[in-house]
Amino acid sequence: MTDAIQEFVEPVRTVLKVIAKKLDDHAWRVEVYRTNRGWVAPISESGAAKLINAMPPAWAKEFTGSMKHPPLEMKRRKLDELMREHPHHPKLDRNIVETFSARGALRADAIRGPAKLYRIVDPSNEGAGMFWISEEAFKALKNRDEWRSKFAVKPDWNQNGWFVEYEVKAGETLHVWRGPAASQKIDGTSYYLEGGGEQIVFCPASRDKMINALPRVDRKTGAIITNHSGAADRRVEFTDVTGEVAPSKLRAQITDSHIKGPIETGWGTADFSAQEAKRILITVPTT
pLDDT single digits (tens) 127-156: 999 999 999 999 999 999 999 999 999 999
> What pLDDT sits at residue 9?
66
The CA angle 51-152-86, to the nearest 5 degrees, is: 155
Which residues are bridge partners to 245 per DSSP? 239
Give the pLDDT confidence of 27-61 residue by residue, as tens digits: 999 999 999 988 989 999 999 999 999 999 999 99
Residue 5 has pLDDT above 80, yes or no: no
The mean pLDDT of 281-285, rounded to a whole number, is 82
Q: What is the pLDDT of residues 179-234, one digit of tens each?
A: 999 999 999 999 999 999 999 999 999 999 999 999 999 988 889 999 988 999 99
Query: pLDDT band for position 3 (50/70/90)?
Result: low
Percent of the chain with pLDDT over 90: 86
Name the phi and psi angles at 200, rounded to 5.
-125, 130
pLDDT (0 to 100) of residue 229: 87
Q: Is the dihedral of CA 54, 58, 61, 62 positive or negative?
A: positive
